[in-house]
Amino acid sequence: MNNHIFVETDDTLNLIQMNIDINKRAADNIRILSMAMVEKSKSGHPGGAMGGADYIHVLFSEFLNFDPNDPAWINRDRFFLDPGHMSPMLYSILTLTGRFTTEELKNFRQWGSSTPGHPELDVLKGIENTSGPLGQGHTMAVGAAIAERFLASRFGELFAHKIFTYISDGGVQEEISQGAGRLAGFLGLNNLIMFYDSNDIQLSTETKAVTIEDTAMKYTAWGWNVIKIDGNDQKQIREALTSAMGQKHKPTIIIGKTIMGKGLLDNEGNSFERKTSTHGMPVSEAGGSFEKSLVNLGGSLSDPFQIFPEVSEHYRKVLQSKQKTSSDWKNAKSEWAEKNGQLDKKLHSFYSGEIPAIDFKSIPQKEGSATRAASAAVLGVLAKNVENMVVASADLSNSDKTDGFLKNTHAFINGDFTGAFLQTGVSELTMAAIMNGMALHGGIIPACATFFVFSDYMKPAVRLACLMQLPVKYIWTHDAFRVGEDGPTHQPVEQEAQLRLMEHLKNHHGDNSMLVLRPADSNETTVAWKMALENKKTPTALILSRQNIKDLPSENSNRYADALQSERGAYVVQDCKGRPDIILIASGSEVSTLFEGAQLLEKDNLKIRLVSAPSEGLFRNQPESYKKSVLPDDVPIFGLTAGLSVTLQGLVGPKGVVWGMNSFGYSAPYKILDEKLGFTADNVYKRVKEYLAG
């Protein structure tokens, strides 16, 4: 326990420290706040936060560059937390740096609180990423580090800064760490510094119950600079960070052996450190003594949320220093801008998210193209005109047709980030999380691609992108059973229904959490890309065909102008005179199949309306009058989908009929599958006639 002498002079109460290490005192203050938050809320994870307090204090007070008055300063160092359950540690240090108040800490995990159980993106509060699903936070940091190198290669080393991240035992165990570690080492991201909080304890066991790996050897094999330290020794922390800051060729992992629940005592006053129970419950419920631990750490029983006066004063000086550093940089940037007016204008456009004017209607498209090929044509134009767009592919660029972009740039390699393409290898989840990190960093428009069936690998990162409202673009090709001979392992069926649910799910701003587009032909694909780039509020998915698709008809001989109606989610492609006898609706390549079926039905004097619905979510957001003009209540509706029938159920309504896939696919040429599975004009004719007769 630390001792203090209080001396009262005039109207000011001053604290005179005797033999007190202010840095230890600050770390203990973080421990107390972390423990108190969890204790008051009766929920949370105190142990890890208490063990990480020394590192987080040294990092934020001595190494992390930020502007106390400008949290969104573009050249700030970024800190990405991976173990979101250690939010008490992050909220505590951000309280010391002025981003949170102790009243906010007291509302930890409560309704409407700014301190939720796991941190949620809020740059103005100092939170660079939403974290919780282990492994994703540090992988986002890899994306941010790539973004920093991309931007520095274009604007100069004045814009260089560091990306710090913090990982736990659980994050190291998550499979995504393989992809993140491999890529960061391969690319030589020397701007990336990761602290591994190795306390040998996870939620239900000690780590020795599940692993014997040598993590240092693993990261060494991936090309990282590896430093091992006592993670509670601030001198060693300082030395390790200083060394890492000077690293020129490799990312650095600092493996810090820390003490879970450092400073905890039990009811008898004995040490209660290194206990698994303190990982995920309040100290008093875990078997320790909150009160004795509080006193042991130098806290006040009457006010466990107190910021010690000497710590407050210390951080006041820290913030003054940070302010001076950022001001000096901004002065240097102003001088740079005077000499580099065009570059400065470009820099502003990059960070503002501005999209240059692109004449989408003039992008040439081959008649009857697969929509993945149509996407490639657009990507070729974007590569030449959207200078801050970065595209990634998971070892499929020649199949997902992102090579349309790659042919106009080159891939990132160690030491060269002048290109704009990331070959991630076979690591879809890693790729998706890296794209999130790029978007979080700012200045970049990220897009990534793979086969649609492998979107399953990406879902955890896609979900976080939706939650964080990141404008990542997903290019998912080979959209249905028409993948053909590769068989059911590669043929998406249920995937579209899963993605459409994200259109139903609202984000915290009340918007559809995702824009999902499945274009019906090449012109709709061009429009889909236009919509994707204009959508800066949420992620966008483009679901594209492997096989060629016949272009849809245009009564005005201007298919692009017709396709612009996709911006309303669904629209009438072809109509009849008067009230239709039936409405045919689909998305993607099934729209052209319906068109062929409609021609057969019209021979029987049936009045047909054909509707393309690339985005159910957008359509649902339209005024009721528009929705009824496209899909009136009193007309039968027939839907066709290569996904689960439920995919279109919401559009055809309770009385409508959907012909869809309700089983896995089969291995065969896709035209054979069309015949066998009933995706032909003849079967459309047959099913519609049966429906109307019933």
Tell me the average pLDDT across 439-467.
98
Question: Can you tell me the mean pLDDT for 88-98?
Answer: 98
Closest CA to 75 of 326, 320, 248, 322: 326
Q: What is the pLDDT of residue 121?
A: 98
Greater pLDDT, 9 or 243: 243
Q: How many other β-carbons are positioned within 10 Å of the β-carbon of residue 202? A: 21
Q: 569-693 has which CATH code?
A: 3.40.50.920
**402 pLDDT exceeds 60?**
yes
Radius of gyration of the chain (CA): 29
Q: Which residue has the higher pLDDT, 8 or 687?
A: 687
For residue 517, give the nearest of 540, 533, 494, 492 by alpha carbon.
Answer: 540
Q: At what angle do helices 136-155 and 455-468 cross, to 10 degrees?
A: 70
Which of 483, 458, 515 lies closest to 370 in space, CA to CA? 483
Residue 387 CA to residue 548 CA, distance in Å, equals 30
- pLDDT attached to residue 694: 84
Fold of 4-323: Rossmann fold (3.40.50)
Q: Is the pLDDT of residue 18 over 60?
A: no
Q: In the predicted model, what is the mean pLDDT of residues 642-650? A: 97
**CATH 3.40.50.920 domain locations along the chain:** 569-693
Give the pLDDT score at 20.
63
Q: Is the pLDDT of residue 403 over 60?
A: yes
- Rounded mean pLDDT of the chain? 96
Which is it for strands 445-451 and 4-9: parallel, antiparallel or unpaired?
A: unpaired
Q: Does domain 360-543 have CATH number 3.40.50.970?
A: yes
Report residue 319 as tokens. Answer: 């913030």
DSSP string, 263-318: T-B-TTS-B--S-GGGGSS-HHHHTSBHHHHHHHTT-BTTBTTPPPHHHHHHHHHH
How large is the average pLDDT for residues 288-314?
A: 97
| pLDDT at residue 262 in the model | 98
pLDDT at 14 > cutoff 60: no
* Rounded distance between C-alpha atoms, residue 372 and residue 548, angstroms: 9
Average of per-residue pLDDT across 3-32: 61
Contacts of 433 (CB under 8 A, 6+ apart): 135, 136, 139, 140, 142, 143, 176, 180, 461, 464
Active site residue ranges:
428
Residue 12, pLDDT above cutoff 50: no
How many CA within 13 A on the CB side of residue 586? 29
Distance from the first to the final alpha carbon of the chain: 84
Average pLDDT of span 41-52: 98
- 528-571 pLDDT per residue, tens: 999 999 999 999 999 999 999 999 999 999 999 999 999 999 99
Asked whether the predicted pLDDT for residue 2 surpasses 80, the reply is no
- State the span(s) of the chain assigned CATH 3.40.50.970: 4-323, 360-543
| C-alpha span between 252 and 189 (Å, rounded) | 9
